[in-house]
Structure 1
Amino acid sequence: MTTSQLIQDRKPGAARREGRPGIALAVIAACQLMVVLDATIVNIALPHIQAALDFSTTDLTWVVSAYTLTFGGLLLLGGRAGDILGRRRVFMTGILLFTLASLLGGLAQEPWQLLAARVLQGMGGAIASPTSLALITTTFPEGPERNRAFGVFAAVSAGGGAIGLLAGGMLTEWLDWRWVLFVNVPIGLLIAVLTPLYINESERHTGRFDIAGAATSTAGMALLVYGFIRAADEGWRDNLTIGSFAAAVVLLLAFAFIESRAKEPITPLRMFADRNRSGTYVIMLSLAAAMFGMFFYIVLFVQNVLGYSPIEAGLAFLPVTVVIAVGAGLSQRFLPVLGPKPFMVAGSTLALIGLAWQALISSDSTYVGGVLGPMLVFGFGMGLNFVTLTVTAVSGVAHHEAGAASGLLNTTQQVGGSLGLSILTTVFGSASRNEAEKQVPRFLAEGSPEQKAEFAKTHQLPAPWGHEVLAQGISMGFVAAAAMAVLALLTAGLVIKVRKSDLEALSGTAGPAIG
């Protein structure tokens, strides 16, 4: 057979080098890692970004929020686009947009340029991420092989935040803050080159884009997050705070109405009819909310209270990645035998214990006792949950809706993280102000003249009182995070129900039913 005949016989969209699933999985996992870690890689570089581009403290928070809100808000539309236009095509489009936005962000000379680049990054991530998960369902057959692929994907998703903190510290301290964005450029280009070589194109489906649904959901979630952030500074009686919450409720109700009437919604509401799938969304939302808050505030603690450098702060999170991977591997190995419920219950319980332990943090806490111990417990619990939630959420979904299902799962993670961080910020702000008011009399009695002058100038408490205020705010924030973990545990225990058919689908063979 000649080369021309081989080309003619090839299916449209077929990979040019088939038969290497390991490389295909590596390409998909690399995309997910890049997208996930970009939500945290800039965290440690924020002080350097503020100094270089002259951000105000308030505006600086949008360097993180502009990415996570756009990413989470457009994930549903990104998953739908893959179903309609072809997942490999959409996957590559998202990667190239993400890569271009990273380059523009690294070159930014003004604050608005960086924020615009972060919005574009979020759009690229929202296009690529749900498509990458859906590509696993079309690349690997259902059963142990697909479960192993899901295990790798879930471990990357779970550990990406901690890896981002480590990478951000190394790049910021050894090179420059701009490299936390530039690093995506060569990786993104390599993924774009390898994708058509090793990943097949999926079957395209006719359909329409639910622009109204995407717009109302994105705007509604953004206003909800903004309302909590606004409340942290201005209080709950502020007119703009109240208005943001009211508008968010209206838009989210409009989203639900639009989806119930749309012929081809980005979120088919029938997916929520399955109690296991609905339960996984609630658990993911709750635990992601706690996890994002944990990373953000522990970064503040280790740098501002313990005095860690950027790279030391990044290294402080490395053990979390290890235990997440261990937990993910354990759940992957025994999931077909035990089913999802035991891992969801155990994982949520460990997450709750870790967060409750972190709520005991104070200005006198050490890294080992106050940070590392609870983070390891929390991380292992998250590892048990991530593979389990991922497999359960897409199990039994029709191939043509796999993109929407995976997009919804990723949306709950990103939106949960954004909402959780904003809620914890509200609690943190209130607790910090209360602690500061308690410390003022002590400060006025014990502070030196220089300290009193500085206090009058900045209206902030200097160290050591500042450390106590920060630690108290973080401690109360983790109380709120523990409440989120309680919701996840109750959902795992009361909603999730393991069925024999679920176990058979997970293992590929008949197995005993577990109630």
Structure 2
Amino acid sequence: MTLCVTMFMSMLDNVIVNNALPRIGQDLGTGISGLQWVVEGYSLVYAGLLLTGGALGDRYGRTRVFRLGLALFTLGSACAALAGTIGVLIAARMLQGVGAALLTPGSLAILGHVFTDQRERARAIGLWSGVSALGLSVGPVVGGPMVEAFGWASVFWINVPIGVGGLLLAGRVLPAIAPRERRVDLAGLALSAAGLGALVYALIEGPARGWTDTRVLVCAVAAAVLLVAFVLLELRVAEPMLELRLFRDRVLGGAMLSGFVVSFGMFGALFFLPLLMQDVLGWSPSAAGYAGLPMTAMIVLAAPLSQRLTTRYGPRLPVALGLTLCAFGLGGLALYGGQARYPEYLWTLFAMGLGMGLTFTPVSIAVLQRVEPPQAGMASATINTLRELGGVVGVAVLGAVLTYRLNGALTENLGRLGIPPGAVGPAADALAGAGGGSGVQGSGAAAELPGPVRAAVEGAFVEGVHLAVLCGAGVLAITALLVTVLLRPAVRPAVPDQGGEPASAPLTDARRG
């Protein structure tokens, strides 16, 4: 229970802030790129330090590092709630990311230590994965009413009592797991963190500054060099932070690819859908939050179903089906424009929720079934890193696609109104709330625009959203086909053979496959 609650909190924080973004933009005076950094500041640090969190857990004890991470996450949440500027808020979100990166690998590894029977472990992982996925879907539902009733800081204050309670419980119920000697890969940490940071910066700032901007080009080149150097280093060191040889196993490779891509599509969608609902469709934060209830319900229903399907048939069926449903639902959003009514696109939320619920659990089960217990911490950190990295890249890439199309369409629309190109940037930022406002529905900088200009901005934003969701759906669909092939010779279903042992065996050698 303690592990599930803390994982729920760390996953919740990935998305609960999304419904608060328009209010943050109004109160702190920032545009779309600044709001992207509020989301990415957390996710980028989380992804960049997850592998190091797994290594530190092995080196100093998984339970001890888990508690340290929970304490830092709670402190970061309090700092974010008290932030008075966009810079302080982003820094606090990064501190939250450090804490989440330390607690997440230990969470799954401790589960593997406590539950030694493979069937019990599968059920425990199923519950853990279902709670994690539920955190992603509940975030918008809970966040909307909280923002409307108590302000955007409330989405961070909610973590403080949960974190304090989790620390008290962890000190009493979690087992002490002996540390083992392991060198911390500091060079790998520096290369991966710098490379990911440069990549995300280039993707977020590229549409605003221009892709030929010197700073953007330097960051893009630096990201390529640093990430290639990271891969080469990890192939050479004795105890790598990321065991790349695990990807030679088809099951592990397919499972990890699935975790990356489902986060790529879903995190990207969950970033800009609240902006679309509140700033274009004119919904309140509460209404935008409640709109996510169908997705939440489907995840709750699908998580135990996916565990049973994985136990009986292996991971291939639920993972491929889940990715296909996510692609179908995400792509379906492109059918609806700025005048869409909720019942018309309700089916897309059902499809995405069912797809997410089917995908998360079998990915975790497949990974832990294929590694030996000493590799559990690294495997846990790897799968969570790729999930989180998928979200980072998804928000950055799909956000870049959205911003690129938004700026292009807005230039055309404003040109027809006789407005110079120099007004494109301020008009686009007005949609995100930059410039302030009272913070009630229909207010803020965008509401102060003349009617034709506001219509032009909203139309351009919808075009950007359509292109972004189609790109995300395409990636999900292609991955569903790849996973069907990769998992075809996968482990046999984890049911007892005549000797009473599970038919699937863990991967004892990372070079196997």
Q: Is the 8 A contact 1:144 1:506 kept in 2?
A: no
Q: Distance in 2 between matches of 1:138 and 1:212?
A: 29
- SS of equivalent residue, structure 2 residue 454: coil
Q: Is the 8 A contact 2:36 2:204 kept in 1?
A: no
State the one-letter code of the partner of 1:503.
A
Q: Is the 8 A contact 1:90 1:128 kept in 2?
A: yes
CA displacement, residues 228-251 of structure 1 (integer Å, 9 cap, x when unaligned): 112222333222222212111111
Q: Distance in 2 between matches of 1:328 and 1:470?
A: 34
Q: Is the 8 A contact 1:283 1:487 kept in 2?
A: no
Q: Which residue is 1:148 aligned to?
A: 123
Q: Which runs of 5+ in 2 are unaligned?
A: 429-451, 506-513
Q: Which residue is 1:375 aligned to?
A: 349
Q: CA deviation at 1:90?
A: 0.8
Q: Which residue is 1:321 aligned to?
A: 296
Q: Distance in 1 between matches of 2:330 and 2:202?
A: 25
Q: Is the 8 A contact 2:144 2:289 kept in 1?
A: yes
Q: Is the 8 A contact 2:54 2:381 kept in 1?
A: yes
Q: Which residue is 2:221 aligned to?
A: 246
Among candidates 463, 474, 478, match of residue 483 of structure 1: 474
Distance 1:37 1:440, change over 3 A: same
Q: CA deviation at 1:500?
A: 5.3
Once the two structures are overlaid, the 10-residue window that deviates more, 234-243 or 73-82, is 234-243
Q: Distance in 2 between matches of 1:220 and 1:512?
A: 37
State the one-letter code of the partner of 1:426.
A
Q: Distance in 1 between matches of 2:125 and 2:135?
A: 15
CA displacement, residues 308-340 of structure 1 (integer Å, 9 cap, x when unaligned): 111111111121011012121111122221111
Q: Distance in 2 between matches of 1:290 and 1:492?
A: 16
Q: Is the 8 A contact 2:281 2:339 kept in 1?
A: no
Q: Distance in 2 between matches of 1:301 and 1:457?
A: 18
- SS of equivalent residue, structure 1 residue 202: coil
Q: Distance in 1 between matches of 2:502 and 2:18?
A: 47
Q: Which residue is 2:178 aligned to?
A: 203
Q: Distance in 2 between matches of 1:49 and 1:74?
A: 26
Alignment pair present for 1:216 and 2:191? yes
Q: Distance in 1 between matches of 2:151 and 2:182?
A: 45
Q: Is the 8 A contact 1:287 1:484 kept in 2?
A: no
Q: CA deviation at 1:129?
A: 0.9
Q: Is the 8 A contact 1:105 1:114 kept in 2?
A: yes
Alignment pair present for 1:115 and 2:106? no
Aligned counterparts, 1:451-466, within 5 A: 458-459=426-427, 462-466=453-457
Q: Is the 8 A contact 2:411 2:424 kept in 1?
A: no
Distance 1:240 1:52, change over 3 A: same
Distance 1:499 1:465, change over 3 A: closer
Q: CA deviation at 1:422?
A: 1.1
Once the two structures are overlaid, the 10-residue window that deviates more, 152-161 or 498-507, is 498-507
**TM-score normalised by structure 1 residue count:** 0.88
Distance 1:257 1:243, change over 3 A: same
Q: Distance in 1 between matches of 2:222 and 2:8?
A: 34
Among candidates 390, 409, 431, match of residue 405 of structure 2: 431
Q: Which residue is 1:128 aligned to?
A: 103
Q: Which residue is 2:391 aligned to?
A: 417
Aligned counterparts, 1:47-446, within 5 A: 47-55=22-30, 58-370=33-345, 372-440=346-414, 442-443=416-417
Q: Is the 8 A contact 1:78 1:128 kept in 2?
A: yes
Q: Distance in 2 between matches of 1:506 and 1:146?
A: 18
CA displacement, residues 195-232 of structure 1 (integer Å, 9 cap, x when unaligned): 13222122311111111111111111121111111222
Q: CA deviation at 1:273?
A: 2.2
Alignment pair present for 1:39 and 2:17? no
Q: Is the 8 A contact 1:339 1:498 kept in 2?
A: no
Q: Is the 8 A contact 2:264 2:393 kept in 1?
A: yes
State the one-letter code of the partner of 1:375.
L
Q: Is the 8 A contact 1:341 1:498 kept in 2?
A: no
Q: CA deviation at 1:121?
A: 0.6
Q: CA deviation at 1:490?
A: 2.2
Q: Which residue is 1:497 aligned to?
A: 488
Between the two proteins, the alignment pairs up a number of residues equal to 480
Q: Distance in 2 between matches of 1:499 and 1:465?
A: 51
Among all aligned residue pairs of Structure 1 and Structure 2, give the percentage whose two residues are the same amino acid. 34
Once the two structures are overlaid, the 10-residue window that deviates more, 374-383 or 456-465, is 456-465
State the one-letter code of the partner of 2:107.
S
Distance 1:140 1:418, change over 3 A: same
Q: Is the 8 A contact 1:147 1:506 kept in 2?
A: no
Q: Is the 8 A contact 1:283 1:492 kept in 2?
A: yes
Q: Give the root-mean-square deviation of aligned CA atoms.
A: 2.4
Larger radius of gyration: 1
State the one-letter code of the partner of 1:126.
A
Q: Distance in 1 between matches of 2:263 and 2:110?
A: 23
Q: CA deviation at 1:277?
A: 0.3
Once the two structures are overlaid, the 10-residue window that deviates more, 386-395 or 50-59, is 50-59
Q: Which residue is 2:438 aligned to?
A: none
Q: Distance in 1 between matches of 2:425 and 2:63?
A: 57
Q: Which residue is 1:12 aligned to?
A: none
Q: Distance in 1 between matches of 2:455 and 2:367?
A: 47
Once the two structures are overlaid, the 10-residue window that deviates more, 492-501 or 359-368, is 492-501
Distance 1:44 1:490, change over 3 A: same
CA displacement, residues 163-213 of structure 1 (integer Å, 9 cap, x when unaligned): 111222122111122221111111111111111322212231111111111
